[in-house]
Amino acid sequence: SEIIIATRNKGKMKEFEPMFLRQGIAVRSLLDYPDLPDIVEDGHTFAANALIKARAIALKFGVPVVADDSGLCVDRLGGAPGVYSARYAGEPSDDAANNRKLLAELAKLEDSSPSAEPARLSPARFVCAIALVDRAGHPVAEVEGSCDGVIIDKPRGEHGFGYDPLFYIPELGRTMAELTVNEKNELSHRAQALGKLWEALSK
Ligand code: ITT
């Protein structure tokens, strides 16, 4: 069966590909269509933006589409970077710059309230909203997954993408970037969301 994942993010695809293949579903992504114009993601929630991306691509190609809108939420930053995670440090999207910006914002907080908990241990959560739409762009399933951790003050690990090197999971004693793709796919926000999608589709 033909299905497109409406993403240009190589890091997401590296995780999605094996998870879809395990279900016997071969997928393409927007990386196969470099000339498509950017989709305007102007929703205020992960769920809204996932649906916007999925609909736009379904209407263009006339096939079922899955989209992932995801990001990092830090309570002490009022939920930032949230839906702005990809472009936290500005255009174009730059993972290294986003990580520096995150540490700078947390350091600012620490300076302004020295008695607070060390910023490097700020609780954080990865969130992933996945939308599946049919070939006409109508929603078939909308699911969300999340994963809890804390932000550390120096990047650790070479795997993954985005904020993974700063996202430490105390239960594992490792950052998300110190996990292989298979290990990350056992517990990530993306894997949780996809698990809920399979569950929704089996009903
Ligand atoms: P597409 O819209 O093309 O899918 P994007 O990177 O712009 O790609 P989003 O708008 O959903 O996608 O933003 C996701 C950002 O959130 C991503 O760039 C990372 O900074 C962060 N993020 C999401 N999932 C992550 C993960 O598993 N590990 C680390 N960072 C993640």
Q: What is the pLDDT of residues 100-114, one digit of tens each?
A: 999 999 999 887 776
Task: Give the model confidence (pLDDT) of 184-201 as tens digits.
Answer: 999 999 999 999 999 999
153 is catalytic: no
Cα-Cα-Cα-Cα dihedral sign, residues 101, 49, 68, 3: negative
Task: Please state whether the peptide bond connecting residue 155 to the residue before it is cis, i.e. omega within 30 degrees of 0.
Answer: no
pLDDT (0 to 100) of residue 119: 55
Residue range 134-160: mean pLDDT, rounded? 97
Q: Which amino acid is at 167?
A: F
C-alpha 55/C-alpha 183 separation (Å) is: 31
Task: Indicate the annotated binding residues for Mg(2+).
Answer: 69
Residue range 122-131: mean pLDDT, rounded? 98
What ligand 1 atom has the least distance to the C-alpha of 188? 27
| Residue 85 beta carbon below 6 angstroms from any ligand 1 atom | yes
- CATH, domain range 4-201: 3.90.950.10
- Residue 195, helix vs strand vs coil: helix
C-alpha 67/C-alpha 132 separation (Å) is: 7
Joined tokens for residue 162: 């985005």
Instruction: Give me the percent of the chain exceeding a pLDDT of 70.
Output: 96
Going by their DSSP bridges, the two strands 139-151 and 65-74 should be labelled as unpaired
Asked if 189 contacts 169 with a C-beta cutoff of 8 angstroms, the reply is no
**CA distances in angstroms from 132 to 6, 116, 144, listed in the order given:** 10, 42, 12
pLDDT band at residue 115 under the 50/70/90 scheme: low
Q: Find tokens 């609909």 and name the residue.
A: 55
Residue range 124-144: mean pLDDT, rounded? 98
Q: Which is catalytic among the residues 32, 38, 68, 69?
A: 69
For 122, what's the count of Cα atoms within 13 Å in the CB-facing half-sphere? Answer: 25
Asked if 131 contacts 114 with a C-beta cutoff of 8 angstroms, the reply is no
pLDDT (0 to 100) of residue 112: 79
* pTM score above 0.90: yes
